[in-house]
Amino acid sequence: MTRRALLAVALMALYGCGTGTEATFQKSPAAPGTATPPPGPSPPRPAGTSPQPPLRPELSPEEEQRLAEGARKSIGDVARLVAELEGRPLKPPQREALQTAKNFLEQARTALGQRDYPRAANLASKARALTDDLAATSK
């Protein structure tokens, strides 16, 4: 496996696949002599309620269709490449990278089923980066 693939896997493991709905923000340091109060507890939810689904941008039907088709095509392309790679002899780090790509591919399919087309395309892109690198190094 090349350094690029290892770096990609390490970054994905470290930062996740970018599918979370929460952002992390850092406050600038407080001025000397001022105290920053600790964050308070989250307000309780009424019993029987569940968290809100992630926010998604409003898309026109044409844009939604374009994103859906692009995600489906990417998922199909990566699935074919994964099947091809599974037939090759791979070293343990390469098998691990292939498994990571398969996990991204499965998550992309799930996102596609949930009509989260940007996320599906993002996950398929990550799987594609790993499989492209594996295809180049495992000939």
Higher pLDDT residue, 50 or 17? 50
Give one DSSP letter per residue of 32-44, joined into a string.
TT-PPPPPPPPPP
Per-residue pLDDT at 24: 42
**78-122 residue pLDDT tens:** 999 999 999 999 999 999 999 999 999 999 999 999 999 999 999
In this model, does residue 19 exceed pLDDT 50? no
Q: How many CB atoms lie within 10 A of CB 85?
A: 20
What is the Cα–Cα distance from 108 to 97, expressed in whole angstroms? 16
Contacts of 108 (CB under 8 A, 6+ apart): 71, 74, 75, 78, 119, 120, 121, 123, 124, 127
Per-residue pLDDT at 73: 95
Higher pLDDT residue, 9 or 72? 72
What is the Cα–Cα distance from 124 to 80, expressed in whole angstroms? 12
**21-67 residue pLDDT tens:** 444 444 444 555 555 555 556 556 666 666 666 666 677 889 889 99
DSSP state, 70? H
Mean of pLDDT values over 70-76: 94
